[in-house]
Each structure stands twice: as C-alpha cells, then as structure tokens.
Structure 1
C-alpha cells in the first residue's frame, strides 16, 4: 500500500496500548484503549496510501450512475499535516484550479477520507439519497466536492488522529480531538490556495466534532454547521438516564473505524466509570465558549443526536446562529438540493463576504410532525424552545387514562419485569386540534419489589383515534422517549427546569424495601400535532437491555472505484476494483474486544403509585390551534 504496511498478528496483540489521554486539567488521565480494526480488513474499504496531485476533469465520474463533475478539480491526496505533538495525519484536498485563494469546508471524522468503512450504499435505499445525487467523492455524511468546488470552495477530508494511515490513536470527543481540529484548521489557513476562512460541516460524528473544535476558538474558523450531533456522550449516548447503552458505540468502533494503532475504549470507560467524573466532564462540549456563526440542523427522531443538537444551539454564545429542525433523516436532509442551496447562502455570507439576503432568514425554522395528515416544514418562530406553549398537566389515573384533573384517591399499577408485557400505557384523546412542541417531563412515584433499582423507558407517542401507530415522514413511530435508572434520580437544582430535569449522575442511591420515591424523567423534545379524536399515548416500561454485538452492516456493500484512483469518463473502460467485505469478514479480535452491557437492574415487580399524596403527572407544552 505504498509505504503503509499492516501486520495482523501485531494488530491483535493487546500489548503496547497507550494508557493515558489528554483531557482538560490533566495531561495524563488513565484511559483504556483497544486495538483498531486493521486498514486492510475488507470492510475498512481502504483505497490505499498515495501522495499525489492530479486534476479531476469536468464531465468525469467516480462511478457509473453517480453525479458527474461540472468543473475541473485539483485533487491532492494523502497530504501530511503535523499536529502540535508531532503526530502526522493525512488529508485529501479537493479545490478549484487556478490561483484564486478560496475558503474551505472541513469534514472531521475517523471514518475514512475516500470510501471508508461507512457509505450510504450500506443502508437500504441509500436512506433516500439517490446515487445520482452525489459524486462518490464525498466523505460519509460530509459535503460533496463535486458541488462545493464548483461553487468556489475547497473541501478538506482529514483522516483524523489514528484513522487509517494517520499516526496516533483514535480518540472520542474531548480535549485531544478539539486541539487536533484547531491545529488542522490553522494549518489549512496557511496553505497557498487558502483565503484564510474555514468552516466545519457534516452529519453525526462530523457534527459532534464541531462543538469541541469550535470551543477551542481557532482564529481562522469562520463558521460551523453541525447537522445533528450530540454534545454530551454520557447523557446522550452511553449512559442516557444512567442506564448503560454501549451498543451504538461498540458498533461504531467495530464496523465504522479502522487504523494502524488503537482506539479509545469508551465502552470500557463507561463500565469502569458509571457516574460522572473528570473523564466524562472532558466529553461535555464547552458550548459557552463558541461564538462563531452557526447553522444548526436537527430532527426530533434521532435517538442519539436530538437532545445534544438542540442543547448546542441554545447554549452557544454566537451572536449569529440559526436553527432548522426538519422532519426526515439527517442524510437526505443534508443532501437535499434546496437545503444545500440554503446552506450555501450561509457560507457565502460568512466565508466569502457575499452581500446576499442571509440575514433575513428566520433565526429558527421548525417542523411540526403531523402523521396521518401533512407535516408543517420550515415554520418560522422566535426562538427555541418555542414560546407560547403553556405547560399542560396530564395526571396518570388507575384506569390508565391521562386526565387534566387530579384524583385524591391513592392507587397503584404494576407489572412483572421479566414478562413480555412489562409495561403500562396511559391514553388521552384530544377533543380539539392541538400541538405539543418542546420538552416533556414525567413525574412518577415508583417502588421496586424484589430489587434495589429500576431501569425505566418512557415513550410518548401520537396514535390515531383507534389507537393505531401513525408513522411519520421518516417511516417511524411519531414518538419521543425518556430513560432513567432510578438510582440516578438526583437532580441538579440549579440546572433543572419545569420541563427539563437535569440529572447529576454523581452517585447512585439504591432503593430500600418498601421505599417509594419520586422521580422525574425528561423526554427528548418533539413537535406533534393532534387532531380531534387522536391520542397521546404514554407508555412506562422496563427498559430493555441493549446487546453490544450489534453489527450495523457498514463496510459490507461493494463499492466500485477506479483502480488508478481519481475519476473517468462515463462509459470509459477502466479497471474497476470493488471495496467491501462480507458480514463475517471482520478480524476475530475486533469482535472479541467488545464489552458486554452490564446486567439490567430490572427484576421482580415495578410498582407505580398514583393519586393522592403520590401525584404522578405528565407535563406537556401544549396549545390549541386553529
């Protein structure tokens, strides 16, 4: 592979793993690492290492059926970048021809800068993004060079620390990633082709990284555009509500990343440190340090990104910030031509100084989900959370209804946790057309029989008048969820609000036999419209244990690329290689390193006390609409 060699036996050897990580306030924090999946594993889909500069010609393609280039593109491959600690990472650069200095957009992730371990082809129907909509030169969930170079931008694809041929070890978010991003941006700003103005863009990991890098305040970072990305891995992903959920993180490490060295073992750190400590504090994005212009995009349906994206928008101190909440999935929204043009107007304003009408765009645009009818998209509002939605109280009654009227009679409902029917539902049918917009909070009085803890999942969803689930535009149930391990029930009184309880996660408070405690379970934000007769259904259930053997199937699709690299003319006979591997082609040690999700705290009986002194109530931001 042109200077990059791999020894699989050495890769599987656990010896030599680093033991410390730079976090804020500690340069040598004790941290677990594991061996990365090797870059010559079939599902890593590595195109090889080759330092070269070529011109990709207008009209050529990366693969048959993909979007053709509309201009010549200078493609600099495997460009070395030295970080402050001497580590070398490698980047691909796509930029316009000629001598004009141009702004640049950075796509920051460890998923590979050409093809890599993740591709839309791995997902059924490419999640609604047609092959013809992108060129195939784009990084997974990043900006497409075929479009952006034609608009006068450079696109930068770094393989971040430890990814593929880059030196060092892959780290999850926090100080090390933030400082690396700072160094890369400042390096790029000094290149001969650079105008000195850079932006960050992309979905998921590419979005998450932006909160951390922007908080370091690199002088040449002119704007960010986080398109759905968490801001607190402990609360948003691996330990939401205090319940360990390592499935998605394990799947990302095993099936989405590859490198020559090691990767930070965040799942093991979640096992070793199940409450908030300095390691997890390092992973909380320092949002209040961000002041650059921001174009923030969210949805209500992402099980990892929704809360953090909206928290990011609310908490950053940027004077110029915009929020758009869509009604589909992140990838089709990101590549939707109308949204790309909208985003381009933002970048043209802040990176090129164009005097367009961007400042007239509403600061907040949201969607109202209305499954069974028609969603409202891009409704302009004053701010988020949206003002004007009074808090409605729905009391939980023993007849499993939600009522605006409390009851003075005490009662209880229960289920056995180890049965298929370990849940209770409560229903409210609307008499008038109404909207629920914002954050929801459930106050419950709970008791465990046969256990000293409870793992609870709460679901609020819209159903039709007959109680049938109504899928939204993304094809999913129109719902929002909340999670809580009852021993993590302690609230931060300074940060908690009526609709948003903030858990401290500093310690566990186990239950005693017969003890009844009040808990608050915050549900992630949503926006749902209800028509007369339609139902709001609240489900309280034993949270299921998420297995860590999840394989998302990334790296399996066979992606054709020209063997010589670059692009080719449509119909031209060139040697094509296919990158990708079978579902079982993972090196054995990769899956052997996965950690098991800790045992559920659920056993025995969950009892929920209602009425009288045990006022269990659902707080909902709700308004009647015409």
Structure 2
C-alpha cells in the first residue's frame, strides 16, 4: 500500500504491521478502567514497593485531530491536583508484550529492588515519579499495540500525533498544564520532532540517546544501504492492527537524500523548550545525532550529559533519575532549586582498558580548548606520522574480500586525550570498478598489541558475560566500545561547503559521481564523535576496509553485518605522501598540567 504525502511530494510505502497475534507474550486487550494501587503494593516479586498511593488509569482513549484513537496508561499520585505530567510515547507496547518481557533493565544488571516493575521498556518508572509528585503517561504510538491509525516512523506526521497527545494531557483537570517528555532511543528520538512543532503545553524534554537523522544514522549511513537492524530487530517486533511505514523499502526506492529524508530530520532551530539531553559515545546508533541535536536546538536552557554505560542502565540508574528530577522540578514545577548551577556539559572521558572519568564539567560541546592535530597515513610503513610524507606510496587491499583490510598505527609517547569530532581525509581509487564503499575504525592497542575495550554493562556477572564473547581478541560492539567508526560510498562524496568544516564535513548525499577505474579522488570520511585517552606506550590504530571494521556490533546493529550489499569489486587503493595528503584530523584536549 502507498500513500501520497503532498507536503513531501512522494508516495510513502506502508506494509502490514506484525499482527498482535504474533506477540509472545500477548499484547493485553483494551480494558479501560481505573485501579487504586496502595502504598506498599508490590507489582513483581522482589521489586520496589510503592511509597505512595497511585491512581492507575488503564487504557485511556486519547483522540487525535483526525479522529484516530490512541490508548495510554496514566499513573498519578492519588488525590493530588496541579500535577505535572511526564509523557513517554512508545511503539514498544505500554504494558505487557514482547519488549517489556525480554528487555527489562533488570536483565542487564539493574537490581530488581530498584524498580517497581510498572515501567515500560525505555520509559521512566511511574512508581518513582508519582512519589515525586508527577503523573506518568505511557501512550502506545499510532498504529502500534491497540492504538488506531497507521504507524509512521518519526518525521512531522509522528510529531503531530504526539503534539495532540500533549495538548490532551495538558488539559486534564488534575494537571498543572505542564507536560514534559522522557525516554530512551525511539522514545527520545520522537521528542525532537515533537518539540520542533512547539505544542503549547510542552514545557521540557529529556531525550535519552535519541538520534535525529534516520538516513545518516541508521538505514543509509554513509550512503550505504543497511536494513537488517531496522527490519529484523525493530519492525519485526512492533505489533499492531493496521499498517506501518516501510522505512527500509523507502531507502531502497530513494537511496539519495530528498524531501522524504529531510522530513525525518527535525528542524532543530525550532526547538526552544528547556532540554536535558543524555548521550554516550558507545551506542551503535545514537551518538552523532544526539550530539548534533543538542548543538543545533535553539533552547536557551539546555544541558548535556554524556555517560559511560549502556543506555538502558543509565536510564534506570538512581543517580540519573535524581538528576532528571531536579531538572523537571525546575521546569515542570517552577521550583527555584539549584538546577541552573548544573554544568551545561558533563562528559565521560573513556579509557578502554583503564579507568574512565565520569561527569567531568565543561562549558560547551565541542570543547573550546581543543587543539587540532594531524597524523599522516604512510602506505609504505603502515604508520601514522606527525609530518607530511615523501615519497608517495600506495596501500592496496581487495575491496570485496571480507577478510582483508589495511591498518595504520602509531605508538604514542605521551598521554593524550582525544575528545570531539574526527575526520579521515583520504586519497582513494577503485582499480577495477566505478564506485567503492569504505569503512573505517579508530581504536587503541596495548603495548603488546592487545585491542583495548570499554565494557558498557555493569555488575560482575554481566561484565563476565561480555568477556566470554571474545573472539580473536575482540568483544562485540554495543556491549563494548573501542573507538569511533565511519563509512562512506565514494560516489556520494560531495560535501556542502557552507555547512562543512575540516573536522565535520557534511556529505549531502543528494547526487552521485561515479569513479573512473584507476582514478584517484580525495574524500572526507568522518568518524563519529568520541572521547578517549591514549596512554604513553599504547598504539592508536586506523583500520580501513571494504566491509565494517572494528568490533562487530551485537545482533544486527549497524556494524554487525559484514556482507552488506556494497558496490565493492576488485582492488581498493589508498594513496599517501607528497600531494596525496591522506591524514587523520582529530582534537586533542590539553592536560591540566600542560595548561598550567
């Protein structure tokens, strides 16, 4: 089925949603009622007992402007008026179902006793927030679970649906008229699109790890089609009664950036509400877009915190919740607390194989005190050099061989912090084809050549599980992190000169310029932002291949599938030296001693 979207000028493909009957356990049937949950109530054995009486309005019907009915669960402290509302808008089922059973944070190291069991996947815990004087509304997205309509994936149409939900919630007679949004991943992503539409009752947002560009961050990263994560890990387990937008089929129909993809990237300059943004460098899909959204939004009052754990764990952490409460108290309750004194930016400086720095206060992102450094690739020695090289040389590998790559490395003589945006400027050629897909990774090795990992899970048992998955000295990505990645289809190498910098080239992806076999061209292959320390004696490595490199991601996340449908055929060459100034550009943060 296709729908013509006049505002975009394109037909959008819709497929039947995975039926409700396929969910195991089942999505609960609609059962609209109000239940009083008393203080001391325990929802799941061993879980956190309620510390206040909660009125639970189950399967509340919420109308949209077109008459579509969505269903939501509302938890609010009993017998209280003028209560602010925290909204989680979810495609994953607000209660019961597959996601809530299989991806509860307690399965990943969060103690059961710290959560009530009333929380939905990637959403805040109603028991904790009701005790703090908030209502929590968890609403099934249009076209998912029992909600009506068709599922639309992000973009203006999805933001408009949430706009209507916010306005309906803000007019409840027990509400103080202020609605905030919270949640992780898709529950964070939708906040950008919603806030850009400026619903009057929306007073604050708290997107936790939310990418903002579906083209550049997931299905067409670097211009290379990558469908399996969205199709196999996400869409296959979103259950509903009607149809869903076929995002990856649209990527196959429109592999170049157009109005359809532009609509999936919210107008960040239109976001003016206070925002508490949470990111990490270790996620396989969210870092670039989350940090871009923080920088691009027009909010006068905005804060960024970059953590060092897996995102579900950070969301469930008691310290994170207490921090978020201070933010919401300030902007949803108008409490004159000390939140405004919170540093605008707090970073985690990763040290794979060592000890991280967490919550380091900063005044900006990226850091104003960064100093730019170049390391030149040397295809003769496969080293990285501080100075331009002579003579020229060439490194070659089979672009369509999943076992081949080239590595360039340098042993550092002093401790160095790399924090910010990185870019590989490369001179490349395809000897036997008219296009080439390139993949790159940056990571460090110990003095004895062992790849160094940061493990994102917490607790001895969970960390032990991750270590047990080691293969050929590598742990799986997402469960671990070694450094930033990047990829590029070379025919789409054109950049927007007005919106690009040497460290952050913006690839337009609007057209193709095929190669002449044997023609050498310069390209900009950006690596995602990072923050990591390289110690004296450790080796920094740049790895390049015609397939995903670095630790292979867990499951089907981008970076997990080696045999992507690339355009690679035959030999790839990287030229270095003399006029071929292939180099890594990266930001170094001076140490405190150096500053003194």
TM-score normalised by L of structure 2: 0.91
Following the alignment from structure 2 to structure 1, what is the Cα–Cα distance between the partners of residues 505 and 345? 24
Is the CA contact (8 Å cut-off) linking 1:271 and 1:598 kept in structure 2?
no
C-alpha separation between the residues in 2 aligned to 1:208 and 1:299?
A: 15
Alignment counterpart, residue 69 of structure 1, candidates 23, 30, 50: 50
Query: Who is 2:115 aligned against?
Result: 134
1:227 has 2:193 as partner = no
Greater relative contact order structure (CA < 8 Å, 6+ sep): 1
CA contact 1:346–1:358 (8 Å) conserved in 2: yes
2:235 and 2:196 map into 1 onto residues whose CA distance is 29
* CA displacement 1:327-365 (0-9 Å, x = unmatched): 111111111111110110000011111111001110000
CA 1:151/1:222 → structure 2, altered by over 3 Å: closer, same or farther? Answer: same
- The Cα shift of 1:116 comes to 2.9
Partner of 2:88: 107
Aligned residue for 2:162? 181
Question: Residues 205, 124 of structure 1: CA spacing in aligned structure 2 closer, same or farther, 3 A cutoff?
Answer: closer
Q: 1:410 — aligned with what?
A: 392
Aligned residue for 1:178, secondary structure, equals helix
| Structure 1 residues 598 and 367, CA gap change in structure 2 (3 angstroms) | closer
Match of 2:466 in 1: none
Q: Which position in structure 1 is the counterpart of 2:474?
A: none
* 1:302-323 deviation digits (Å, cap 9, x = unpaired): 1110001000100000000000
Query: Secondary structure of the equivalent of 2:439?
Result: strand
Measured in 2, the distance between the counterparts of 1:493 and 1:523 equals: 18
Q: Tell me: CA distance 1:286–1:265, structure 2 relative to 1, closer, same or farther (3 Å).
A: same
Find out whether 1:204 has 2:170 as its counterpart.
no
Match of 1:599 in 2: 565
Runs of 5+ unmatched residues, structure 1? 1-16, 554-596
- Show the counterpart of 1:610: 576
Could you tell me how far 1:598 is from its partner in structure 2? 7.2
Is 1:20 the counterpart of 2:4? The answer is: yes
Matches within 5 A, 1:207-356: 207-356=188-337
Aligned to 1:492: 496
Counterpart check, 1:452 vs 2:434: yes
1:503: which partner in 2? 507
Q: Deviations over 1:530-589 (max 9, x none)?
A: 1110121110111249xxxx9779xxxxxxxxxxxxxxxxxxxxxxxxxxxxxxxxxxxx
Deviation at 1:67, TM superposition (A): 1.9
Aligned length: 560
In structure 1, how many angstroms separate the alpha carbons of the residues matched to 2:590 and 2:444?
Answer: 16
Task: Map Cα deviations across residues 597-619 of structure 1 (whole Å, 9 max, x no partner).
Answer: 97321110111111111110100
Task: Find the counterpart in structure 1 of residue 464 from structure 2.
Answer: none
Residue of structure 2 equivalent to 1:366: 347
- Give distance in 1, aligned partners of 2:422 and 2:125: 37
1:419 and 2:401 correspond:
yes
Aligned position for 2:545: 541
Comparing 507-516 and 266-275, the one that deviates more: 507-516
Contact 1:367 1:378 in 2 (8 A): yes
Partner SS for 1:31: strand
Q: State how far apart, in whole Å, the 1-side matches of 2:32 and 2:2 are.
A: 29
Structure 2 stretches lacking a partner, 5+ long: 457-478, 558-562
TM-score, scaled relative to structure 1 = 0.87
Kindly report which structure 2 residues correspond to 1:363-442, keeping only aligned pairs within 5 A, or say none: 363-397=344-378, 398-442=380-424
Cα RMSD after superposing both structures? 1.8
Q: Secondary structure, in 3 states, of the residue corresponding to 2:578? A: coil
Residues 117 and 258 in structure 1, CA contact (< 8 A), matched pair in contact too: no
What do the CA deviations read for 1:279-313 (whole angstroms, capped 9, x no partner)?
11111111110000000000001111000100010
Distance 1:623 1:76 in 2: 51
With over 3 angstroms needed to count, the CA separation of the structure-2 counterparts of 1:294 and 1:172, relative to structure 1, is same
- Structure 2 CA distance for partners of 1:401 and 1:180, relative to 1, 3 Å: same
